[in-house]
Amino acid sequence: MRSLLTLAGFIAVALAAPAWCANFPPDASVNPAAPTKTLAPKVIVDSGRLGWEPYKRDLTRWLTLSYQDRRATPEPTRFAFKPPLDGDATRGKALAWEWCISCHTLPGDEWPGTVGSPMAHYKRFKHPDALVFQQIYDARVFNPDTVMPSFGTFGLLTEQDIRDLTAYLQTID
C-alpha cells in the first residue's frame, strides 16, 4: 500500500510540474511548488547551515550557474521602443540598487562595480532613450559576447521596470 501511495504521489507531482522543470539540472535552486519557483539561500543563524526560501521573483527563465545547465538561450531580442519614456526615475534608482549595483558603480556607492562601466555622469553621454532601453532589455543586440544579463528577454524586468531604469540613468549628472 505504501508503495502505491508513493507512486501516486510521484505521478501527481510529475503531472503538476510544468515541462520546463525537467530541463533543470539537479543542483538548481528551483522548487516548482514554491510561489516563485526560484529559491534563495538563507543563513540559519548559529547553525552552520543554509535554509532555502522562495525568492521574490521567478528567475527560472534565466540560466542557472550550474555547469550542468544545458538549456538553450533565447536569441537576442530587439525591442520596438515607443516614446514617450514615461519612466519613474525614483523607482528606477531603487531598481538600479537592486539589479545593477553588483556590476556597475552607482552614485553614492562606495565600492566599484565588478564588470560594468561606472554610471557616474551618465546623463552627459546624451544616449537616446531607445538605445539605453535596448541595452538593458537585451545588450546582445549590440554585442553578442556581452556578459550583461538580458533583463527583458529573460523576463527578469518588466517593460516598465526598464523604462524606470532608463529614466533614472538619464538623470545621473
What are the tens digits of pLDDT across the range 79-97?
Answer: 999 999 999 999 999 999 9
Q: What is the pLDDT of residue 22?
A: 60
Q: Check if the beta carbon of residue 77 is closer than 8 Å to that of residue 138.
A: yes
Which option is the CATH number for 89-169: 3.40.50.12280, 3.30.365.10, 1.10.760.10, 1.10.287.1770? 1.10.760.10
Residue 57 has a CB neighbour count (10 Å cut-off) of 14
Show me where the domains of the chain are located: 2-54, 89-169
Lowest mean pLDDT among 68-72, 96-100, 136-140: 68-72
- pTM value is 0.73
N-to-C CA span, the chain: 70
Name the H helices within 72-127: 89-99
Chain segment 12-66, per-residue pLDDT in tens: 333 344 444 567 888 888 888 888 888 888 888 999 898 889 988 888 887 777 8
